[in-house]
Amino acid sequence: MDTKELLKKVRKIEIKTRRLSDHIFGGEYHSTFKGRGMTFSEVRQYQFGDDVRNIDWNVTARTNEPHIKVFEEERELTMLLMVDVSGSELFGTEQQFKNEIITEISATLAFSATQNNDKIGLILFSDDVELFIPPKKGRSHVLRIIRELIEFKPRSKGTNIVEALKFMRSVMKKKAIVFVLSDFIADDYKQTLKIAAGKHDVTGIRVYDKKEEAIPNLGLVQMQDEESRRVPVGQYIIKKSTIKLQ
């Protein structure tokens, strides 16, 4: 893809996703992520009308008087996009491939964050971490992220969500809003995801194609694994949503 074509594609995505961002979030970014980006400020005595969920039971037991924890909203949040660039994302039977849908979702989230003057970072992963862009602010930074999402060519086609989450935990020392965008065609990542969610606000966004869940009647076809590139010996008969090796 030459520079002119790339810039045209970036601009097209910017126009489309900025409109989506304004429509979906509409200036309500903080309320959309209610409870996120809050940092501890102090402990004070309970007053009528305070939220009982914020009672500090340790201080209350020690002083024999009810005290609550006071939190204040952080002025600056950090959003991190973790994007799956494995081979299975290069599939689509409707209007777009899965990786194109992921790019648009990522851009919408990034513009929503930058409108609130928050930092945005990016991790591209396959079965290894392919690219890490540390969180920064600004439109030019968001456009760089979009360019990478459009033109980046991964070295590998496999998927390893576990390694990507471990890398994220190692580089993100402070609490962040983390979006994992993937088809989640992978194994044994749930426990690592749970650990990551213990520190960060982690949201998984699954992108899939309808034909991955209900295979149409295609007759006799040959199959290839997009990630391993293996072609099984024999032919597959696809009929009535079943797959049989012949």
Digit-coded pLDDT (tens) for 165-181: 999 999 999 889 999 99
Is there a single domain that holds both residue 125 and residue 144?
yes
Is there a single domain that holds both residue 236 and residue 124?
no
- pLDDT of the residue at 72: 62
The Cα 51–Cα 97 span in angstroms is: 46
Is there a single domain that holds both residue 24 and residue 42?
no
pLDDT at 1 over 90: no
Q: Is the dihedral of CA 175, 100, 84, 122 positive or negative?
A: negative
Query: What pLDDT digit, counting tens, does each position of 105-117 carry?
Result: 898 888 888 877 8
Is there a single domain that holds both residue 81 and residue 187?
yes
- pLDDT of the residue at 239: 47
Is there a single domain that holds both residue 125 and residue 195?
yes
Q: Is residue 87 part of a domain?
A: yes
Is there a single domain that holds both residue 204 and residue 87?
yes
Q: Is residue 17 part of a domain?
A: yes
Is there a single domain that holds both residue 107 and residue 150?
yes
List the domain range (segments joined by +) for residue 64.
38-73
- pLDDT of the residue at 197: 93
**Helix, strand, coil % (nearest 5) of the chain?**
40, 25, 35
pTM over 0.75: no
Q: Which residue has the higher pLDDT, 18 or 160?
A: 160
The Cα 4–Cα 9 span in angstroms is: 9
- pLDDT of the residue at 75: 57
Q: Is residue 33 part of a domain?
A: no
Q: Is the dihedral of CA 97, 88, 218, 209 positive or negative?
A: negative
Confidence of residue 38 (pLDDT cuts 50, 70, 90): low
For the chain, what percent of residues have pLDDT higher than 90? 38
Lowest mean pLDDT among 69-78, 139-148, 235-244: 235-244
Bridge partners for 123 per DSSP: 82, 132
Q: In total, how many domains does the chain have?
A: 3
Is there a single domain that holds both residue 67 and residue 150?
no
pLDDT at 233 over 70: no
Is there a single domain that holds both residue 172 and residue 67?
no
The Cα 228–Cα 87 span in angstroms is: 9
Is there a single domain that holds both residue 97 and residue 194?
yes
- pLDDT of the residue at 243: 42
Is there a single domain that holds both residue 103 and residue 143?
yes
Is there a single domain that holds both residue 68 and residue 82?
no
